[in-house]
A and B are shown apart, each in its own frame.
Chain A
């Protein structure tokens, strides 16, 4: 689960990380009041709060100015005008897709003057099973470009699970970044703060891009992104409350409520599967032979037939879906419960597109019997390739 920048900054600040004074605003006049609250005089920074990177390089739909989602402003009058231009509008970035995301709130910050910036993040390295601190001297903020072209320029430091960052590791960072010696204590506070946040709150990734080095050696988190481990949210009800439902597609949100995953693509076939591997191989095959997948739902280890029915309905009612491919390999999942779910969903919302079904594994014969007794127009498939071929043919014939 991701949270907004202003929320991440507040959390990090509670763990000792320095962040500029800021205040959230939902209307242009609140933006002015927020600006007054954080600083007597400008400049201020207005930051659109959507959960996406590269907001500065983004643009607003229908806005000819071409200005992005991060704006430095010098006067209070100007704040009102810029806030008006951003609030309620859709901001498009390289991460949001062409539709963009609606900006419902703006974070107003006191502008912090810095001499230079760098990149710092905490993540988990799966091969070493260790929390890893990443540091890079990225002055333009484009860490992905660096990761692609010069990965050796990123410093990786494994952090101990039970001990704070060591003095040697801090010294390594100091020399890697050529930081002045007076930064040492500030660096220690920063790294300790990130480490504490990561461990205490079960984060899966914390990214400060950038950290700003101020004239007197202070280190400021000028931006902040925290992703939390979904599997550990049950330990943090206060974090769970920070989830912003506006950030999700309504179908995705509905699927999440049943602990399923739902994704959309650009094609015309809806897929119902019980594993990401099954979804990915179906998407690959559809892409090779047609316009590709429209969406998929992964019902994972679902064994509650009512939830399964609700999940299947999300695919059946998606207007872009011209045909449905159901590929279930039952282990923990029992095929008969999926079949019950299909019948219940079809009874409620109807089944108006070609529907190809493949069952394998636990209770597949029971499942077949249930669907045959339901008299739904099901096309049976033996394996994935067979299923894709039969479905694409049925879609062609239906047109």
Chain B
């Protein structure tokens, strides 16, 4: 078991014919991901990496029954790409695009509301269920199948968290990068909820960050649950002086001034295990057993 994607998830790729897409889709195919189609407007009817290319998502879905999309489209095209995914009623869309305009994301979030499509990202390494499916840009040789769910706001620290799990002799059920933009698709609460429903996930590693109030929302949700799976949490940024522009200025006035310590306190209060350094995760995992 896993969440969102597994080996039978049929995946299409929006923007398949680009250079970065080709590099990473080839790796995903080698990994065993069931990529069944590509979509590039204007290039329908051709073959790329042995995959049929369609002119629209709807056409690709009709022909291949794909239910998830990995999008290698530039930030400026994301809104159109997500609209297509929503109209084709995909379950999942994953965007790795960096630098998506805030206003576009406001519009994307409004479109997603009331649709059946879930968006992971943008600006994320994506989602990987070890040995089953890789949608994104994750390194291919660091994951092991196992029972730890990973969810992270920081792309690069996700890899560090996975290496810590390996060091503890464990593996992952599913690993998800939420992306660290001001606005994101699925958030901690959405993913924690799925991990709690997933029989294969026994414990969760959660990597938060300085800005936004997603960690506080996660703490609130977790606190309200009666059946809790253990969550090991880490938040970087304690040593960064306040106002150093690493966070989002609007946060302070919108949510009050929240320091890393405040966030940690909220998570501890909710019952999570909070570690001070990323390399303490493997010890915390060992303690669980």
Write the residues of chain A forming the contact surface with B, with a CB cutoff of 8 angstroms: 95, 121, 123-127, 129-132, 134, 143-144, 147-148, 151, 154, 156, 161, 199, 202, 204-205, 227, 229-232, 234-235, 263, 265, 273-278, 280-281, 283-288, 292-293, 300-301, 303, 329-332, 360-362, 383-386
Contacts and interface: CB of A to CB of B under 8 A. Distances in A.
27 contacts: A123-B253, A124-B182, A125-B254, A126-B251, A129-B106, A147-B252, A148-B257, A154-B253, A156-B254, A161-B107, A199-B103, A230-B99, A274-B156, A275-B156, A277-B154, A277-B155, A284-B276, A287-B239, A301-B98, A329-B160, A332-B137, A360-B159, A360-B160, A360-B163, A361-B159, A384-B279, A385-B279
Q: Is the interface of A mostly helix, strand, loop or mixed?
A: mixed
Nearest to B254: A125
A232 B105 contact: no
Given A126-B248, A383-B279, A276 B98 contact: no
A232 B160 contact: no
Given A124-B250, A202-B101, A231 B75 contact: yes
Contacts, number: 175
Which of B152, B157, B184, B251 has the most C-beta atoms of chain A within 10 angstroms of its own C-beta?
Answer: B157
A124 B106 contact: yes
B157 A332 contact: no
A330 B240 contact: no
B236 A300 contact: no
A292 B217 CA distance: 31
B244 interface: yes
Interface in B226-266: 236-241, 243-246, 248-257
A276 to B, nearest CB: 7
Nearest to B112: A129
Contacts of B29: none
B183 interface: yes
Given A124-B106, A126-B182, A384-B160, A280 B101 contact: no
Given A231-B102, A332-B96, 8 more contacts: A125-B250, A151-B255, A227-B249, A232-B103, A277-B236, A330-B139, A360-B163, A361-B142
Nearest to B216: A127
Contacts of B237: 280, 283-284
